[in-house]
């Protein structure tokens, strides 16, 4: 099977930093059925695990060096060093300079002009998440910000994104991504989305923008697909997490969850109109 690849400007990877890597692995294994591959060489500082679902890469789990547990989103670029120069010139702050992540690729951490942190990823051996939008895997990352206007302007200029206000949410599209998926790993994407009356252009969807209250700092939030929102929430509590909120819309049933070490994510059950 050919690897799933990501054009420049498309979110491609997620990972979580955790104070106790083994405890975090036990939690997510229990919740999503993940298995783990330790990819750090012997004697290297810190730890980094590749989480797998049915043998395919779904996320990363690393030691946080004392930092608060959190989830991060990575955006694909062709050249991490050139991307950093361009993004900083556009108003982003550089949090960690580009560096090689073993043979997997080259990574840099930044914050957008409003302070929301993200990474850029220049893929080599690891192009990114290899399975998505199935129970236990990544669904979307959402940019949470109290002021969408400047955020939209930054990301449009930075990555060529387009944003559609659908009334029930702001959809982020990377034009041409649907063509890429159709030609590589998902030849039926347009037919499948037509059957459920997805919004026009949804084949290019890569993220959402969520307007938050002014008391919440801007950040990138990670959502996972689940088969049953309530069962996942119950399992999360049994495994030591806290369910912060439950929400329902015409398309989804969601739970906002804080894992046992403090990283917050959402679990989303897809419930399209008409079933």
| Distance (Å, whole) CA 89 – CA 80 | 14
Q: How confident is the model at residue 175 (pLDDT cuts 50, 70, 90)?
A: very high
From the candidate CATH numbers 3.10.180.10, 3.40.50.880, 3.30.1330.40, 3.40.50.1970, the one assigned to the domain spanning 10-270 = 3.10.180.10
pLDDT band at 1; cut points 50, 70, 90: low
37-93 pLDDT, tens digit each = 999 888 778 899 999 999 999 999 999 766 789 999 999 999 999 999 999 999 999
Q: Let me know: does 77 contact 120? Beta carbons within 8 Å.
A: yes
CA 129 → CA 36, 90, 93, 248, distances in Å? 14, 27, 26, 27
The Cβ of residue 30 has, within 10 Å, a number of other Cβ atoms equal to: 15
- Which segments of the chain does DSSP mark as H helices, in order? 21-32, 80-89, 148-159, 177-183, 189-195, 229-238
User: Residue 45's pLDDT is what?
Assistant: 81
Whether the predicted pLDDT of 9 surpasses 80:
yes
pLDDT at 136: 98
93-101 and 48-53 beta bridge pairing = unpaired
Q: What is the structure's pLDDT at 192? A: 85
Tokens of 193: 């989305």
C-alpha closest to that of 24 among 271, 275, 262? 262
**Cβ within 8 Å of residue 215, ≥6 positions away:** none
Which pLDDT band holds residue 275 (cuts at 50, 70, 90)? Answer: low
Q: Where is 79: in which H helix or E strand?
A: none
Backbone angles phi, psi at 183, to 5 degrees: -85, -10
Q: What angle do CA 248, 252, 33 make, to 5 degrees?
A: 115
DSSP string, 118-180: EEEEEESS--S-S--SSTTSEEEEEEEES-HHHHHHHHHHHH--EEEE-SS-EEEE-TTHHHH
> Looking at 32-36, 131-135, 224-228, 271-275, which range is the least confident one?
271-275
Q: What is the pTM of this model?
A: 0.96
Distance, CA of 162 to chain centre: 18
Residue % of the chain over a pLDDT of 90: 83
Q: What is the pLDDT of residues 78-100, one digit of tens each?
A: 999 999 999 999 999 999 999 99
Q: Note the pLDDT of residue 2.
A: 81
Q: How far is CA 15 from CA 251, 258, 265, in A?
A: 26, 15, 11
Query: What was the pLDDT predicted at 254?
Result: 97
Stretch 97-111: mean pLDDT: 95
Average pLDDT over residues 174-186: 94
pLDDT of residue 65: 67
- Give mean pLDDT, residues 117-128: 97
Nearest to 252 by CA among 231, 265, 268, 267: 268
pLDDT digits (tens, 9 = 90+) for 137-158: 999 999 999 999 999 999 999 9
User: Among all chains, which residue has been given the structure tokens 């890429």?
Assistant: 180
Mean of pLDDT over the chain = 94
């Amino acid at each position: 099977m050919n690897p799933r690849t990501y054009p420049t400007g498309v979110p491609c990877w997620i990972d979580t930093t955790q104070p106790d890597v083994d405890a975090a692995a036990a939690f997510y294994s229990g919740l999503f059925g993940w298995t783990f591959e330790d990819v750090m060489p012997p004697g290297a500082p810190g730890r980094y695990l590749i989480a797998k679902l049915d043998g395919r890469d779904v996320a990363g789990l690393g030691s946080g060096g004392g930092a608060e547990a959190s989830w991060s989103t990575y955006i694909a670029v062709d050249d991490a060093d050139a991307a950093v120069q361009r993004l900083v010139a556009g108003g982003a702050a550089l949090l960690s300079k580009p560096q090689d992540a073993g043979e997997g690729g080259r990574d840099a951490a930044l914050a957008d002009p409003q302070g929301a942190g993200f990474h850029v990823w220049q893929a080599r051996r690891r192009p990114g998440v290899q399975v998505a939008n199935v129970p236990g895997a990544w669904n979307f990352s959402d940019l949470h910000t109290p002021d969408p206007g400047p955020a939209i302007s930054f990301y449009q200029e930075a990555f060529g994104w387009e944003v559609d206000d659908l009334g029930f949410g702001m959809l982020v599209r990377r034009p041409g991504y649907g063509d890429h998926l159709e030609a590589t790993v998902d030849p039926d994407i347009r037919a499948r989305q037509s059957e459920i009356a997805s919004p026009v252009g949804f084949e290019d969807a890569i993220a959402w923008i969520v307007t938050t209250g002014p008391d919440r700092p801007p950040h990138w939030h990670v959502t996972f697909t689940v088969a049953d929102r309530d069962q996942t929430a119950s399992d999360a509590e049994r495994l030591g997490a806290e369910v912060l909120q439950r929400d329902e819309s015409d398309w989804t049933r969601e739970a906002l969850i804080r894992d046992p070490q403090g990283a917050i994510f959402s679990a989303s059950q897809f419930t399209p109109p008409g079933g």
